[in-house]
Amino acid sequence: MAASRSRIGSVPYLNAVPLTCGLEDEVTFATPARLAELLREGALDAALVSLAEVLLTDGYDILDGVAIASRGPVRSVFLAHREPLACVRKVHCDTASITSVNLLRVLLAEWGIPATLEPLASYEVAPDLDAVLLIGDRALEFARAGHPHHRWDLGEAWGDLTALPFVYAVWALRRGAHDAALRARLIEARDSGRRDFETLVRQREDFDLEFRRNYLTRNVTFELGEPEKRGIARFAELLGRHALGPVSPPNYVA
């Protein structure tokens, strides 16, 4: 059975705001990596968590119909690099990320770029690095700061490779710890976010209003339909092809 209301987790980023509408006071907010840890520990029953956590860790169901995805450039997940992309040999990766790091591994392998990945020591040093992977609000802040780096948008790169959407996060449900009532609450939060979208966007203080509105309508989509599921299947296939871990087939529940 699903546990108390406090056992739902989400990321604190702008792109998750429409999916937690009405749940804000009861959600545990943490980075994707920390949410994955809490799910594995049994401290959460549902979390808006990195897709790769679900594919690479057996024991989760995916709430059907809801995701954080993109159908082209996403703006908030990119590799910032000073040298030409083909010359990149070391990438410092945001430690908050799970899916984006694995997506980068897939893309580098598919493009034949033999770069090694290591953890980013701190966000403060990111502007001084030759190549750094950033996600979420930190990525948006970096892009808007005008640093001289080129930016390889991973959503756009995935689209160029596959002609499919890319799914970054899903509602992962710990198998055996969720019920229809919990799933209905998460769907209702998504529906409330749709109804109250303009109010939610205006209430936020991240960046400026027009940027928030454009980002959440042009770069991010919250659908998990057949195109997104084909994107998930393709990502799972490529994770396996490049030996990035045993992959669990996704199990969608309504």
The string of pLDDT tens digits covering residues 143-179 is: 999 999 999 999 999 999 999 999 999 999 999 999 9
From 143, 162, 181, give the residue that closes a domain.
162
What is the model's pLDDT at position 2?
Answer: 42
Both tokens of residue 186?
Answer: 């998460």
What is the model's pLDDT at position 205?
Answer: 87
Does one domain contain both 110 and 145? yes
Does one domain contain both 179 and 211? yes
Does one domain contain both 231 and 193? yes
pLDDT band at 77, cuts 50/70/90?
Answer: very high
CA distance 38 to 118: 23
Q: State phi, psi for 58 to the nearest 5 degrees.
A: -70, 145
Does one domain contain both 62 and 170? yes
Which residue blocks in 78-208 are alpha helix, DSSP H?
A: 99-111, 136-144, 154-162, 180-195, 197-203
Does one domain contain both 141 and 64? no
Q: Which tens digits make up the pLDDT trace of 85-144?
A: 999 999 999 998 899 999 999 999 999 999 999 999 999 999 999 999 999 999 999 999
For range 36-52, the mean pLDDT: 95
Q: Does the pLDDT of residue 67 top 80, yes or no? A: yes
Does one domain contain both 90 and 146? yes
Does one domain contain both 88 and 208? no
Number of structural domains found in the chain: 2
Q: Indicate the pTM of the whole model.
A: 0.94
Q: State phi, psi for 249 to the nearest 5 degrees.
A: -65, 140
How many residues in total does the chain contain? 254
Q: Does the pLDDT of residue 1 top 50, yes or no? A: no
Does one domain contain both 13 and 49? yes
Both tokens of residue 217?
Answer: 């309508």
CATH of the domain at 146: 3.40.190.10
Q: Which tens digits make up the pLDDT trace of 187-198?
A: 999 999 999 999
Does one domain contain both 124 and 60? no
Cα 181 to Cα 245, 250, 252: the distances in Å are 33, 21, 16
> Cα dihedral angle (85, 91, 94, 97), rounded to 10 degrees?
80
Does one domain contain both 45 and 90? no
What is the model's pLDDT at position 3?
Answer: 40
Range of the domain at 51: 5-70+166-253
Q: Which tens digits make up the pLDDT trace of 196-240?
A: 999 999 999 889 999 999 999 999 999 999 999 999 999 999 999
What is the model's pLDDT at position 6?
Answer: 52
Does one domain contain both 209 and 239? yes
Over the range 194-222, which residues count as b (16 or more CB within 10 Å of their CB) and which as e? eeebeebbeeeeeeeeeebeebbeebbbb
CB 162 within 8 A of CB 241: no
From 137, 162, 187, give the residue that closes a domain.
162
Does one domain contain both 238 and 170? yes
From 147, 162, 177, give the residue that closes a domain.
162
